[in-house]
Amino acid sequence: MMSLQPIKDEDYIKVNSVDAFFMPLHGIPTIVCYLEDGRQFYLFSVPAEIVIAINKTKGNKEEEFGDKRENIYDIISFIPEITEEFSKHIEKVIIDDMIRDTGVYVATVEFKFDGVIIQKRMIPSHAIFLAIISNKPIFVKKGLVDEQEKESREGQQKF
């Protein structure tokens, strides 16, 4: 359990919508968060099952990869009582950190039980899936968006 840190609106950007897909040519599973300020925040190399699950949840055409088996995300989405319980307890998802050693992002999911907020650190793609099925808001820390844009610009300048 983590201690609660106050969220200042100016430090976070709300996600308006999410797309999940496999990058053309390379097939890299990707999530794009379309932000309230008009920018985009990218998560690359997310689990393929999450891309498929997000698309199924959104009613998009099912991806075909030859594997016709159901996975845990299909089952979670299939049972209304599970998604209802998530909706009752999840408050929001915040992509708010990066593990510098590995270059992966971290999300905090806020759960509420009997008025008590419990924060869990999660893999962002999994947290986004939970937010989608529970219809809860997603936020991204502004500093992470700024940093990702800066790295993208610097990478483009090298070519």
How confident is the model over 120-133, as pLDDT tens digits? 999 999 999 999 99
| Percent of the chain's residues with pLDDT above 90 | 74
Q: Identify each DSSP E strand in 25-145 by its residue range.
A: 29-35, 40-44, 90-99, 104-113, 116-122, 138-141
- The answer on pLDDT for 113 being more than 80 is yes
Q: What is the pTM of this model?
A: 0.89
Distance CA 108, CA 4 (A): 11
DSSP 8-state assignment for residue 45: S
> CATH number for the 10-157 domain, one of 3.40.50.2000, 3.10.20.600, 3.10.690.10, 3.40.50.720?
3.10.690.10
Q: Which amino acid is at 87?
A: S
Distance CA 94, CA 48 (A): 21
Q: How many CB atoms lie within 10 A of CB 3?
A: 5
> 43-88 pLDDT, tens per residue?
999 999 999 999 988 887 665 555 678 889 989 989 999 999 999 9
Domain ranges of the chain: 10-157
Query: Which has the closest alpha carbon to 131: 29, 4, 31?
Result: 31
Banded model confidence at residue 25, pLDDT cuts 50, 70, 90:
confident
Banded model confidence at residue 157, pLDDT cuts 50, 70, 90:
low
